[in-house]
Amino acid sequence: MKQILDEAIKGGYGVGAFNVNNMEQIQGIMQAASETKSPVIIQASRGALKYTKMLYLKYLMVAAAEDNPEIPIALHLDHGNNFETCRQAIELGFTSVMIDGSLKEDSKTHTAFEENVEVTAKVVEYAHKFGVTVEGELGTLGGIEDGVGSGNILLTDPDDAERFVKLTGVDALALAIGTSHGAYKFKQAPVLAMDIITEVKKRLPATPLVMHGSSSVPENLIDIINKYGGTLKHAMGVPIKSIQEAIKRGVKKINVDTDGRLAITGAIRKYMAEHTDVIDPRDYFGEARKAVYETVKSKMIDFGTAGHAGDYKPKTLSDMIEIYKSKYIKKIF
């Protein structure tokens, strides 16, 4: 993932990180990436790993890579809650991990800055031995999704961000700028702290910045779900224009989960309501896959990712081991 995000800094675009739980999601994402010629980050939460029993997800991702050799792909652990979770993901073959040291292992309670530094630095030291990228987080988001979140927003302090990156050696830093996890993000258009992105980027120009809780919660997807039996309340997500402004200021990884869930749910509800005699899962899961493809394709275009898959030759984990090793040697001497 480090290479994907470093190239995004050079090119001035953002890269979507899309959460997955099953084959149809992965296939829909990869179809969009292939058609738009986009590098892509596919990420799995601890909930997804539990749902797929870990091993199944690994081989779905191997299939995605073999089927799309021309697309740079990173497999990323989303919101690892401790060192052991990150270690297991690395052992499974993940090329990137996030250690969310901003919260304790319960994924709900705030940690002190020093606690965050300690666990993040430990993960960085271990992961880099295997060529694996590490994302850290400073500050906390609103909302709760997949069991992660304190429910309270604690904005990132740029002074702390600068110290944090220097003390831990993380490859990417997730900022808290007022975004929120889950479908029910905001009752009105959010006012995001864009100045935090600008200030952190000024201090850490080589560090890719990350936006969590960045689904846009499109109204048309809510409407489809509710038209076919759903009872979702209307809420606002992060507008695409706000994400594009964040990309201009330095955000290079944009996490998208809720929009994919909404697209899948709406597609299945609609198909089953219109085909009441259906019994073949391939029929409605096929519609779900198509909905994921359409949603992700639009994100890749909006984030500016489209067309950049062929800009560079993807590095392997072995390549990254040597790069991290040389960085360590320079640091010592």
Predicted TM-score (pTM) of this structure: 0.91
Q: For domain 2-332, give the fold.
A: TIM Barrel (3.20.20)
pLDDT more than 70, % of the chain: 91
pLDDT more than 90, % of the chain: 78
Residue 150: the pLDDT is: 47
Contact 1, 16 (CB under 8 A): no
Q: Where in the sequence numbering do the catalytic residues fall?
A: 78
Interval 244-265: pLDDT, tens: 999 999 999 999 999 999 999 9
All residues at 6 or more sequence positions from 118 whose CB lies less than 8 Å from its CB, including other chains: 101
Rounded to 10 degrees, what is the CA torsion of 256, 259, 265, 269?
Answer: -160
Q: 184 pLDDT band (50/70/90 cuts)?
A: low
Q: Which letter, b or e, does each residue of 270-284 get, where b requires 16 or more Cβ atoms within 10 Å of its Cβ? A: bbbeeeeeeeeeeeb
Alpha carbon distance 262, 299 (integer Å): 14
* Residue 230 burial by Cβ neighbours in a 10 Å radius (0-12, 13-18, 19+): middle
- Average pLDDT of the segment spanning 297-306: 98
Alpha carbon distance 73, 181 (integer Å): 24
Which amino acid makes up residue 38? S
Rounded to 10 degrees, what is the CA torsion of 77, 79, 85, 88?
Answer: 0
Alpha carbon distance 157, 58 (integer Å): 36
Q: Is the pLDDT of residue 85 over 70?
A: yes
More confident residue, 134 or 55: 134
Residue 272: the pLDDT is: 97
- The gap between the terminal CA atoms of the chain, to the nearest Å, is 27
Least confident window among 3-7, 152-156, 163-167: 152-156
CA 25, 26, 27, 31 torsion: positive or negative? positive
More confident residue, 295 or 107: 295
CA–chain centroid gap for 26, Å, is: 14
Nearest to 100 by CA among 135, 141, 54, 53: 135
Q: 145 pLDDT band (50/70/90 cuts)?
A: low
More confident residue, 43 or 146: 43
Q: Is the pLDDT of residue 189 over 80?
A: no
- Considering the chain, what is the average pLDDT of its residues? 91
Q: Is the pLDDT of residue 171 over 70?
A: yes
